[in-house]
Amino acid sequence: MDICQNHPLPDWTSGFEHRRALASQLPYEEYTGPMEQPAYDSNKYRLIRLLNNLVVMCVQDVGAKASAAALSVNVGSSMDPMELQGLAHLLEHMLPRGTEKFPGVDEYHSYISRHDGNCNASTNFSRTRFYFGIPSNAFEGALDRFSSFLTSPVFSRDCIDRELCAVDTEFKGLLNSDTWRLQHLESKLSEQSHPRSKFTPGNMDTLQQSAKDHGLDLQEELIKFYNKYYSPDIMKLVVCGNHALDQLVEWSVSKFSAIKSKGDSVQRDLGHPVSAEFLGKVVHYETLDDKDVMIMRFPIPSVSAMYRSYPFYYINHFIGHKEQGSITAHLKRQGWATAMLVSTNFGKEDGFCEFSITIKVTQKGLNHYEDIMRVVFAYVRMLVDSGPQEWVHHEISSQLQSRFDSKKKSKAVSQALSYMYLIFNKYVAPEHILSKGSLCDRFDYNAIQHFLGFINPGNFRVFIGATKHLSVDCSEVEPYFGTAYHVLSLPADLLRDLASNDVSVDGLYLPVKPEPTQAIAATKSSNILDNDALAFKHTLLKLNDNFELWLRCDGWSRKADGRITLSINVPAISSSPQNHVMSLMYCDMLKNKLSNDLDSAEHAGLKFGVDAAESTIEIHVEGSSNKLIGLLIAIVEEAKAFKVADAQFLACKDHHASILADMDNRAPIELCRMNMACITKSNQWHYKLVASELAKLTSDGMQAHVDSLFDVTFFKMCVMGKYNEEDALDVADSVQYVLNSSPALEYRAAKPRCFDIKPGYYLYQMQMPNSDCVTSAAECTIYCGWQMDDTETAMSLILQEYVRANLIALLCAKHQLGFKARVSLLTNLGNRYALCLQIEGKSNPMFMTMYVNRLLHEMQQQLVDMTEEEFEDRIESFTSVLEEQNTGARGGKHKEQVRSVASALDVSKQQIDIVQSVTKRQLVEFWNKHFLPSAALEYTRIDVQMWSAKTWKPAESEFENYSAKTLALFGCLHNEGFDALDIGRVDEFITVSIAAHKELSENSKDAESLIAELKSTSMSASGAKCTGGEGAKHAIYTGIALELAIKDHKTFGNYAHIGCTDFTTAGMAKTPDGIWLVTDHQRFQAMQRLCSLEASDVAGAQVY
């Protein structure tokens, strides 16, 4: 029985009073009762309910520079008709595409982008959510457009095909995700009458083709779905900004009251999708990532009503802990696993849940999965027999209370989303809206026992994922994601063994109540600073040959919380690929050891971390200030004296071998970043080279590396919190004493270095190592301003945001090509910045690169045509974005503050002042100087392309002999099915067409006739063409590629005039467009100069 059924629904009536909005005079109800909130929360809240039953949380954050709104509707893919699976997802795409008040299909997204905001939406099993963030001065306009698509969407028929392509592209982007593959395998192995069995993302087959097969009109079905389910009775809205609460209420009431109430349209009492028929099974399935995993799933009733006594806080605490005697420690000691995660997955608030134990198993562990089950159930048996312990509940409760009270502010969008989740649980009383899920102050002995009863051998199934199963033939295939699997019943004798009261495993025991003396020793400081005037004041306390020490007094925090970061420069780390991987393994093994030995620190509310960076060992501790110094010294002592255990070494080696093998399965856009790092940075080891070195490692060699690791060091430390100078100096001296290292003087210190790339346009291209990947990617990195120049720094930041916003807007407005796009400003390429544009999709990378070139040209023209007033508005919006980024900087920039000589916060304030002084003329000149090849004398650009094995890829000789426009168009035609075409014929066709068609308008008859003419040359030789939605999408690519080749040929020009270095001596060749082809990045690097990176600039993409 669902124990939640005994919980009455809270009173959402008596605490509300009738009100009228000040300006519109529209009625609403306001909650006037108490509301539990963090002790030091300066936000102001107002909970209201409109007459249509829409519940709205208004949040005033006076210090915020940006505003946000988030709306969630209690409708998701569970409501999809069986004949139109994915309809809820398609509706999520369609709603923002034009309204009665704002008919433009891209008006909402364009408005957000024009004001340097961001927006997104998502659909899951039971929820659809929409949200945006934007500078506060543009909030009302965004809210107007946001509310409009909920009150009066138009469902333009012209947009449906475009959004179908977008939905289909999203689905194809998920095909290589093992998370999604497993999710839909579980759906298939569930009750087929349950909504969970549905295919949630949707694609062309389940939407467009299925609609045709069933004689349905998609537009009509979308309207029906919207009219039936999109009711304010099941919606929740959060608006968050620095505006007065009365203003936020006014906007909410006036803009959202028009949504028509249709009553509670949620389907309830669905039952559990995993019935007895599917229990007692082991499901072997094939993964794409080379990470072996074992997942034990236990179906349980919903626990949503028990948010103040949540029994799984207790259960997860015991089963998931990592100290000696735990399941995790035992599995690691046996060499069967490297990590374990315990979680509770929610279905619907009054529907179903699953308790899961996810174990990252080793190859040895795969062969011992039955023994792993014995360990789990032996531990659970001890937990049941011991009965719920109230002291453990109090320990958990105090940790949660401490985190709740010291909760730091986040950005506006994050705040809006977090509050939206809080107000959606129907069992939560209004006074607990802000604290739901954060506090657990009720010890419920019976509930803990009740839910422990579900973790038994008769109520679970196990999934075992691996790239290969030696003893099982995975001959069955899940239909949508193509996951190969095989289901077996667990042996009856095994289940009897697991259920036996006598089941036990040596070495397992429950944690005991710690004595007060067992806690991490407190620091001696009794005079912790408490002076608000010292908030964020950085002080360099000491600098010598051994260390650099900074103190930051956080007077703003009224709690005694602190953080100490220690960055130890270790020359040995980056000296070779072998040392690099050994250092990574050392940190992992050290963390595992610390997790066991220092678990009492976690219980005391402290956190710690140990990681290997490019040339440093990074250690941080955070939590209560009076305990941190003792914890840090304990960690450094363990790091210095660490001994490598053979079993631990083999398990860690297996784990890293799995990670390295999985690199081939990374997304194309990630592999672009990795290869770019290998080209531009010294001592960046490619993962294949690291894998070959890993195979040679021995336990003795690892111990020798650890013993000598800290022989020569220099460390930087930043002590943050309510400490005084004496505390900081003492801890630095203590660390120096423990390390007992020779100083890494300037000439001996390990310094990250990069190559100072000479002017020119370079292309590095590779085939995707994963032959099943259907997408390709291109990364275009264009060097721009000098980091030492404050004005060029400001203009680089402005252009990054300008390009980011416009790239998204143009991709949405021009063509729905299904591309993923990212824009970032790289700071780890020496003394210069670089603008990095990444794009991924189902077309050839040469087409993507040329498409990016066109968009950059359009952006440059938009910038030139912009009025002074429009420019000032953009600068004001961007200033708000910068200021908003400082929200949360108190907790998010510790590493930079250790590594950098100046405070990151002070630099940001200075940047903001300079940004506000930049003129349009300056920015146009800056663009032309760095981004316009015809005007930029030192134009420097590197393109990295990853080509899908499913896409035609030119041979090296074709790169050398044919222009980018020829390769792009030929690739698009080839993908469309015209693979009998000769590339020379396409090149000749382009040359003739350029001469004959000086002007070629988009979608013109000329374009159509030219494409038809070209395709006709291969029709007789190749009858295989793409059809349906996929063919239509490739035809769009082909049409754009023709425009790029003919209409835009003068825009792109030739790059041969750029640079004066001849790279032919390095074995490189030039394309007809004047682009150097990089075939061997090491020979390319030999032609460049090395330059040192500031330590603060190291934070870039790690190759491994």
Q: What is the pLDDT of residue 568?
A: 92
Of residues 94, 64, 356, the one with CA closest to residue 225: 94
**Confidence category of residue 571, pLDDT binned at 50, 70, 90:** confident
Predicted model pTM:
0.77
Q: What is the pLDDT of residue 1021?
A: 39
Q: Indicate whether 686 pLDDT > 60.
A: yes
Distances (CA, A) of 129 to 71, 690, 811: 6, 42, 22
Query: How many C-alpha atoms does 178 have within 13 Å on its Cβ side?
Result: 18
Q: Indicate whether 542 pLDDT > 70.
A: yes
Q: What is the pLDDT of residue 537?
A: 61
Q: Indicate whether 1 pLDDT > 60.
A: no
Q: Indicate whether 1093 pLDDT > 80.
A: no
Q: What is the pLDDT of residue 831?
A: 84
Q: Indicate whether 436 pLDDT > 80.
A: no
Q: Which residue has the tokens 């990095």?
A: 836
Q: Indicate whether 894 pLDDT > 90.
A: no
Q: Indicate whether 35 pLDDT > 50.
A: yes
Adjacent-strand bridge partners of 282: 462, 488
Residues 133 and 282 in one domain: no
On whether residue 4 sits in a domain, the answer given is no
**Confidence category of residue 897, pLDDT binned at 50, 70, 90:** very low
Residues 114 and 244 in one domain: yes
Q: What is the pLDDT of residue 622?
A: 86
Q: What is the pLDDT of residue 555?
A: 47
Residues 607 and 556 in one domain: yes
Residues 322 and 307 in one domain: yes
On whether residue 520 sits in a domain, the answer given is no
In angstroms, the CA 651 to CA 589 distance is 9
Q: What is the pLDDT of residue 308?
A: 79
Residues 485 and 354 in one domain: yes
**Confidence category of residue 1049, pLDDT binned at 50, 70, 90:** low
> Which of 100-109, 589-598, 627-636, 923-932 is predicted least confidently?
589-598
Of the spans 517-526, 808-817, 921-930, which averages the highest pLDDT? 921-930
Q: What is the pLDDT of residue 750?
A: 57
> Which of 115-119, 242-246, 534-538, 868-872 is predicted least confidently?
534-538
Q: Indicate whether 1095 pLDDT > 50.
A: no
Residues 905 and 880 in one domain: yes
In angstroms, the CA 768 to CA 975 distance is 17
Q: Indicate whether 465 pLDDT > 80.
A: yes
On whether residue 926 sits in a domain, the answer given is yes
Q: What is the pLDDT of residue 846?
A: 95
What is the arithmetic mean of pLDDT over 924-950?
A: 92
Residues 970 and 934 in one domain: no
Of the two residues 602 and 683, the one the predictor is more confident about is 683
Q: What is the pLDDT of residue 1010?
A: 60
End-to-end CA distance of the chain: 49
In angstroms, the CA 600 to CA 605 distance is 9
Percent of all residues in the chain with a pLDDT value above 70, rounded to a whole number: 86
pLDDT digits (tens, 9 = 90+) for 947-997: 999 999 999 999 999 999 999 999 988 888 787 788 988 888 888 877 666
Residues 1079 and 1035 in one domain: no
Of the spans 15-29, 882-896, 1000-1014, which averages the highest pLDDT? 15-29
Q: Indicate whether 152 pLDDT > 60.
A: yes
**Confidence category of residue 82, pLDDT binned at 50, 70, 90:** very high
**Confidence category of residue 814, pLDDT binned at 50, 70, 90:** low
On whether residue 518 sits in a domain, the answer given is no
On whether residue 178 sits in a domain, the answer given is yes
Q: What is the pLDDT of residue 516?
A: 54
Find the DSSP H helices in 280-430.
311-320, 327-334, 363-366, 369-386, 390-405, 412-422
Q: What is the pLDDT of residue 518?
A: 46
DSSP string spanning 338-381? EEEEEEEEE--TTSEEEEEEEEEE-HHHHTTHHHHHHHHHHHHH
> Which of 61-65, 440-444, 532-536, 1032-1036 is predicted least confidently?
532-536
What is the arithmetic mean of pLDDT over 557-580?
A: 80
Q: What is the pLDDT of residue 1100?
A: 40
On whether residue 689 sits in a domain, the answer given is yes
What is the arithmetic mean of pLDDT over 910-936?
A: 89
On whether residue 592 sits in a domain, the answer given is yes
Residues 152-168 as b or e (16 or more Cβ within 10 Å = b): ebbbeeebbebbbbbbb
Q: What is the pLDDT of residue 345?
A: 77
CATH number of the domain where residue 1078 is located: 3.30.830.10
CB 534 within 8 A of CB 553: yes
Residues 121 and 202 in one domain: yes
Q: Indicate whether 132 pLDDT > 70.
A: yes
Residues 92 and 190 in one domain: yes
> Which of 82-86, 376-380, 854-858 is predicted least confidently?
854-858
Q: What is the pLDDT of residue 123?
A: 94
Residues 893 and 913 in one domain: yes
Average predicted confidence (pLDDT) for the chain:
84
**Confidence category of residue 812, pLDDT binned at 50, 70, 90:** low
Of the two residues 747 and 259, the one the predictor is more confident about is 259
**One-letter amino acid of 343:** S
On whether residue 438 sits in a domain, the answer given is no
Residues 170 and 195 in one domain: yes
Boundaries of domain holding 36: 21-256
**Confidence category of residue 277, pLDDT binned at 50, 70, 90:** very high
What is the arithmetic mean of pLDDT over 212-236?
A: 95
Q: What is the pLDDT of residue 219?
A: 95
The domain total for the chain is 5
Q: What is the pLDDT of residue 668?
A: 92
